[in-house]
Amino acid sequence: MNNPRSIDLNCDLGEAATPEQLDVEARLMAYVTSVNIACGAHAGDATLMRRTVQLAQQHDLAIGAHPGLPDRETRGRREQPLSHGFVQEMILSQVGELMAICQAEGLRLSHVKPHGALYNMGARDRTLADAIAAGVAQIDRRLILVGLAGSELLAAGEARGLAVAAEGFADRAYHTDGRLVPRDQEGALIHDESTVVSRAHSLIHDGTIPAIDGSLLHLRIDTLCLHGDTPGAVRLAHALRTMFDDGRISVVRLDHAA
């Protein structure tokens, strides 16, 4: 390619509950360019948030908030009825807490990416998406709202005057309409390293990825998600960065690319 495109590689962190998981999160920071830090509801706490922020600063990463539903039993992945007001206040509280930690460390929060059920519900429900976007805009209109490519969340963010970043997943299966296949369904999670790398390559170079039925989806993405809790995540991160280098894809942190 004469003009290779650039991509942000983001990872959801600040969710570790064991020393082994803490080690994986720390090692992943050598490969990613942006992190989304759990805000203490679905996972994490203030101490882990601060530790993760400090590590991200050491690696010069864009720091984002990863607010989720207050449901630790399912780690924020169980969908439930939500009011517009509840969602907006939840965003204000969780993102506000992480922003305060960043400010105390002399850093600026760059983006917000909802977690789990909140992310998936906001991708398809415009009313819920607007509540998320409204909360983000109320905190700081400079924040970038990260959402599923082609989703209602991105449309709601743009309507609120926010910068948005379209996210893609190489390790998750897609329905034909661009929604992610729920994690509890067969084939939703893709663990094979070569398959994940191949899907990432297609997304970045061609803007395409196979749907679960074999049809081809066309998606424009600004950032690629690497799940920190995927088995072999560090090895996969290394493989992705090798593919980026081989394919002359520049890797740029989200707040520099937006």
> How do strand 216-218 and strand 250-251 relate by DSSP bridges?
unpaired
pLDDT score at 48: 98
CATH fold of 6-257 reads TIM Barrel (3.20.20)
pLDDT score at 2: 36
pLDDT score at 16: 93
In 175-185, which positions are buried (b, 16+ CB within 10 angstroms) versus exposed (e)?
A: eeebebbeeee
pLDDT score at 231: 80
pLDDT, mean of each 10-residue run, the chain (258 residues): 72 95 96 98 97 98 98 93 96 98 98 97 97 98 98 98 98 95 92 95 95 95 91 93 93 84
**Which residue(s) pair with 208 in the sheet?**
218
For the residues of 172-195, what is the DSSP string, one character each? Answer: B-B-TTSPBPPTTSTT-B---HHH
pLDDT score at 94: 98
Per domain, the residue ranges of the chain are 6-257
